[in-house]
Structure 1
């Protein structure tokens, strides 16, 4: 998928949506209208997820009802204890898909605890996250970008600074999943990063560093989205479509900013992509040759070269499957060629950036073929499990997909299960 074809299949960044100030946290985070049903609203009930309503413990003057003003400003050390949360079931840890509603946040005031928390998050970034996976002479510039250039840009651009904090909190939560301060920081800084990314896009003046900040923020958002899947509840199982949709929106921002960045020789994002095989292969990534190993998922064609399965007679549907399988095919080739961990993880993170919107729609509809294709992606993603933000997530997602794929499609799950190590060869 290249050029106009790629753009048509991707969702643009969501900037204006209906809001419900009295709605639940999930609907606010997703920016959809909440029907405010109790104990669980219609949207949460339909997706079988916890429904959370947040109220302030201090009632408004002249009213017996408690509420949280959209203009309330709270220090980060007060966010957790200042809320009374009512849930209709045991709440799950907040993730990339469940940020704090941005309507409820303004700039966080300075406190000593906030400074110490941000120092902790920054230290984790420079000592853990920015450490190169397998440096080599061909990628010697990448550690410089991660360790030096990206932090310098973040000091002047809050969208990048806040997503670094959110990603660092996600990293630290791997070893401290019950840490309330980190859980709050993960949600707060993600929300602030999303807010400031939108502001930066609206005020974009096509300067090199602005473009770099927008692009790097988009990339880190996809890493954070994948990393946040590790602790999500998978019983009952629902495919992680929120993560994929965030990637589609991030891709629209990334591509727009990259066009401007290419005009400046000093651009760090251009240097970043020109020194990685994955980005250099993008123009031919969606060619037919790459999906060869997986064409069996699409089924046979008749004598006229038309797929026999009527689902594929729709052009948009067929292309969404073909493009996605081509991308997965490039991942498979990379695994066979024993690409290093850094490059494999780049391909894993970029899947959410380049997957067609129509494919995500079909996953959300639980179409069997779409679920099988997604299982193949996660099976290959297990090859990046040595890195913290990938971890055991791919294997667990394959297990979950196995449970919901219909019996008549289970034969197509054999390869993902073997590739994930869940079944013997």
Structure 2
């Protein structure tokens, strides 16, 4: 059991930074034997990981992983409902792993019609609530989580001010059909911050950035833009398109077991529920997940379709 917990923890990051790899491989499993909810989360992830390695065992392992995650959530929720400056590093680690687990759940087969990943967005944005309370305490106390927290990009320390670039390849998403949506100041801020973050991830994906850094940016989206969750719950087309672009950009870094296959499923799912007049915006994400060679680094080629294509889409949908 200890072997699987340690092995699974090491795979959660696939970091190319030795200190971060050691944190997941050694420090986090050690915390788990002192904080039971974290142990249950790791056991759930271990069962899920084993099922991906041995698909013939998946049916017998799925009830085990679900039981362990239920235990983890039952014990974790009361603690996070009453946060203070003494919140432990194990609680923080558990919040991060629960977020990754809920993302992994998106890979499970389903016959239901597509619904956005609300559970992942909700659990992941909870990390921000915890970090706002204890980030500086962890840094000052030389926490075992510091290798991850201080590894660039610094998500929780610098905030969104560091995620604004000069290139604006996705700003057409903000401008399209803007007069048809009730956008108050709070909503506009959420949209703008989401697109700014998305553009930074896009720019990073076009540079010699490690896959681990790109995954950190991808998984950091919900906690960095917590207001975005409400817009997705309302299934606002603009928010769904932003989410589709986020998952499309994750296609390049899906070479970890808990993300494999999810970007394509989410992009196709989002495209399937968009109104006809918005479907043209998903041409680039669909080409990206299909690894279309015509998708280049040129910003002008991102919106390969135009609103004028809407009439044709509507006629065939």
User: Same fold by TM (over 0.5)?
Assistant: yes
Instruction: Give 1:142's aligned residue.
Output: 20
Higher deviation after alignment, 150-159 or 191-200: 191-200
Q: 1:281 to 1:375 in 2, by over 3 A?
A: farther
Equivalent residue for 1:184?
63
Distance in 2 of aligned mates of 1:155 and 1:258: 23
* Aligned match of 2:110: 233
- What are the superposed Cα offsets for residues 117-161 of structure 1, whole Å, 9 maximum, x if unpaired? xx1xx42332344056353xxx22112211221111111111221
For the structure 1 residues 177 and 343, does the alpha-carbon distance in structure 2 shift closer, same or farther, using more than 3 Å as the test?
Answer: farther
For each residue in 1:68-107, what CA deviation from the matched residue of structure 2 results, as whole angstroms up to 9, or x when unmatched?
Answer: xxxxxxxxxxxxxxxxxxxxxxxxxxxxxxxxxxxxxxxx
Q: Is the CA contact 1:206–1:261 (under 8 Å) kept in the aligned structure 2?
A: no
Tell me, yes or no, if structure 1 residue 272 matches structure 2 residue 272: no
**How large is the Cα RMSD of the aligned pairs?**
2.6
Check if 1:124 corresponds to 2:4.
yes
Equivalent position of 2:268 in the other structure: 399
Q: Deviation at 1:262?
A: 3.1
Q: In the superposition, relative to structure 1, how do residues 187 and 254 fare at CA in structure 2: closer, same or farther (>3 Å)?
A: farther
**What's the counterpart of residue 317 of structure 1?**
187
Q: How many angstroms does 1:230 deviate by?
A: 0.5
Cα pair 1:222 1:246 within 8 Å, conserved? yes
Aligned to 1:173: 51
- Residues 204 and 322 from structure 1, CA distance in 2 versus in 1: closer, same or farther, beyond 3 angstroms? closer
1:88-127 correspondence runs (5 A)? 119=1, 122-127=2-7
When normalised by structure 2's length, the TM-score is 0.82
Whether the aligned pair in 2 keeps the contact of 1:287 and 1:326 (CA below 8 Å) is: yes
2:140 match: secondary structure = coil
Q: Match of 1:336? A: 206
Question: Are 2:289 and 1:413 equivalent residues in the alignment?
Answer: no
Give the 5 Å matches for 1:38-117.
none
- 1:170–1:228: 8 Å Cα contact kept in structure 2? no
The separation in 2 between residues aligned to 1:353 and 1:381, in whole angstroms, is: 16
Structure 1 equivalent of residue 218 of structure 2: 348
Looking at structure 2, the residues matched to 344 and 331 of structure 1 have their Cα atoms a distance apart, in angstroms, of 7
Matches within 5 A, 1:228-267: 228-233=105-110, 235-264=112-141, 266-267=142-143
The superposition leaves residues 300-327 of structure 1 with CA deviations (integer Å, 9 ceiling, x where unpaired) of 7xxxxxx952526411211111111122
> CA 1:409–1:128 in structure 2 vs 1: closer, same or farther (change >3 Å)?
same
Deviation at 1:177, TM superposition (A): 6.8
Contact 2:160 2:193 in 1 (8 A): no
CA contact (8 A) 2:128 2:156 kept: no
Instruction: Find the counterpart in structure 2 of residue 294 from structure 1.
Output: 170
Give the greater-gyration-radius structure (CA): 1
Per-residue CA deviation, residues 273-299 of structure 1 (Å, 9 max, x unaligned), is 113334378434565536711100111
SS at match of 1:196: helix
Distance across 2 between alignment mates of 1:236 and 1:199: 33
TM-score by length of 1: 0.62
CA distance in 2, matches of 1:312, 1:286: 28
Residue 229 (structure 2) aligned to one of 360, 363, 366: 360
Partner residue of 1:103?
Answer: none
How many matched pairs?
Answer: 292
Pair 1:155-2:33 in alignment: yes
**Does the aligned pair in 1 maintain the 2:173–2:238 contact within 8 Å?**
yes
Distance 2:164 2:273 in 1: 29
Unaligned 5+ residue runs, structure 1?
1-118, 301-306
